Amino acid sequence: MSARVAVVIVTFRRVDVMLQTLACVLRQTTPVVRVVVVDNDGGSDQRVRAEATALSDGVHYLALAGNLGPAAGFAAGLEWLLEADDPDWVWLLDDDSPPAPTSLASCLVVAAEAQAAGLHVGAVGNRGGHFIRGLVRHDLRRVEGGWQRADFVLSDGAIVSSVAVAAAGVPRRDLFIMFEDIEFTSRIRLAGFDVLVRPTDGSTFLHMGSTADWRGYYQARNHIRVALDLRQWTWLWGWVARETGIGLHLLRERRFAGLCFRWRGALDGLLGRMGKRVDPADPRLWKRRPPKGPR
C-alpha cells in the first residue's frame, strides 16, 4: 500500500506566491491526500481562503490569530492533520518554496530505501546539517548521490513521519521564528528516529524573508533556550562561540542595533521570556534597513 501524505503550507501575506506553491503541490507525480494552508495573517486577506480552496476540494484553510510565526503555523497544521486524516507522512512547506513535480516522490523513495536498510526514519529534508562540537553546521545543503544522515533538517521541504511527531511532539510555538526547525527535527532525532537529507531535486526556494537585525534577537534567544531545555550542554558552547563571532562582526560593521537585539535575546532566553517579543511589523524596526520581504 502506498504511503498517505498530507501537506502543511504556512503563508503570510504572499497570496500569489503561495498559490504558485500550492499548484505545484497539487501537480505532484505522487498525489497527496490533503493540503492545509495555514494563514499566519489571521484571515485578513479573504483571497487566501477563496483562491486556495478553489484549486481543490482537498485543500483546507486554517487561520491563526495573527502572525504567530512559522513554528506555530506548522504546529497548528500538524495537529489538525494528524487528528483529521491520520497520514503516514506530513510534508512541510513555506509559501515561497514551489516544489519540483517529483519532489514528494523522491522524498518517499529515500524514506523507503532507508527503512529497508534498517533505519527508523523520522524526517527526510532537502537541507540539514550537524552539530560539530556544539556548533551548528549547515553542511548538507546540496547532497550529491544518495541520502545522508543528519543531526537536523530544515522544515521547509521536509517530510516528517506521523509516528515521529506523535513521539516527539510538534514544533515549539513559543520560539516564534528562527531555530524552530532545528529544535523540532533535533527532538525527533533525540526521540530515537533517524533524520536524513536527500539529494537536491530541482525545487525552487525563493527565500523571500528578510535578513533584518531583529532576527538576531530570536536566533540568540531560541538557541540558548533550546540548549537549556533539551540539556544539550555542548550546544551552549556552540552558542557562545557563534554569538562571539557574530558580535565581533557586528562591532566591526558598527551595527550596534544588531548587537542590542542579540544581547536582549540572550537575556530573554536565559530568563525564559518566550513568544513574540519583537514584532516584525513594528515600523520602528525598518528605519535604517528596509525589509526584503513581508516577514
| Amino acid 282: pLDDT | 75
**CB-count exposure of residue 21 (10 Å: 0-12, 13-18, 19+):** buried
Residue 280's nearest CA partner among 261, 267, 263 is 261
Distance, in Å, from the CA atom of 232 to the CA atom of 133, rounded to the nearest integer, reads 11
Cβ atoms within 10 Å, residue 286: 14
The arithmetic mean of pLDDT across residues 209-236, rounded, is 90
Distance, in Å, from the CA atom of 77 to the CA atom of 9, rounded to the nearest integer, reads 8
Q: How far apart are the first and last CA of the chain?
A: 40
| Amino acid 191: pLDDT | 96
| Amino acid 128: pLDDT | 92
For the chain, what are the domain ranges? 5-197, 215-286
Return the H-helix or E-strand segment holding 256: helix 256-271
The arithmetic mean of pLDDT across residues 248-253, rounded, is 92
Mean pLDDT score across all residues of the chain: 90
Distance, in Å, from the CA atom of 265 to the CA atom of 272, rounded to the nearest integer, reads 10
| Amino acid 290: pLDDT | 45
| Amino acid 16: pLDDT | 93
Position 187, amino acid: R
Q: Is residue 227 over pLDDT 60?
A: yes
| Amino acid 142: pLDDT | 67
Q: What is the CA radius of gyration of the chain?
A: 19
Name the packing angle between helices 256-271 and 233-252 (round to 10°). Answer: 160
The arithmetic mean of pLDDT across residues 213-242, rounded, is 94
Name the packing angle between helices 15-26 and 46-55 (round to 10°). Answer: 20
Is domain 5-197 classified as CATH 3.90.550.60?
Answer: yes
Q: Is residue 67 over pLDDT 80?
A: yes
| Amino acid 4: pLDDT | 93
Q: Is residue 293 over pLDDT 50?
A: no
| Amino acid 211: pLDDT | 65
Residues counted in the chain: 295
User: Can you state the percent helix, strand and coil of the chain, rounding each to 5?
Assistant: 45, 20, 40
The arithmetic mean of pLDDT across residues 263-268, rounded, is 96
For residue 183, give every residue at least 6 positions away whose Cβ sits within 8 Å of its Cβ, in sequence order, or none: 171, 172, 175, 222, 226, 230
As a dihedral over the C-alpha atoms of residue 242, residue 243, residue 249, residue 251, rounded to 10 degrees, the angle is: -170
Distance, in Å, from the CA atom of 56 to the CA atom of 49, rounded to the nearest integer, reads 12
Angle subtended at Cα 32 by Cα 31 and Cα 38, rounded to the nearest 5 degrees: 145
CA 263 to chain CA centroid, nearest Å = 24
Position 281, amino acid: A
| Amino acid 291: pLDDT | 44
Q: For the segment 163-203, what is each residue's pLDDT rounded down to a tens digit?
A: 999 999 999 999 999 999 999 999 999 999 999 999 877 67
The arithmetic mean of pLDDT across residues 78-87, rounded, is 90
The arithmetic mean of pLDDT across residues 56-72, rounded, is 92
The arithmetic mean of pLDDT across residues 229-246, rounded, is 93
| Amino acid 286: pLDDT | 54
Name the packing angle between helices 215-229 and 233-252 (round to 10°). Answer: 160
| Amino acid 84: pLDDT | 84
| Amino acid 133: pLDDT | 85
**CB-count exposure of residue 79 (10 Å: 0-12, 13-18, 19+):** middle
Kind of pairing between the strands at 89-94 and 159-161? antiparallel
Strand order in the sheet with 152-153: 135-140, 128-132, 152-153
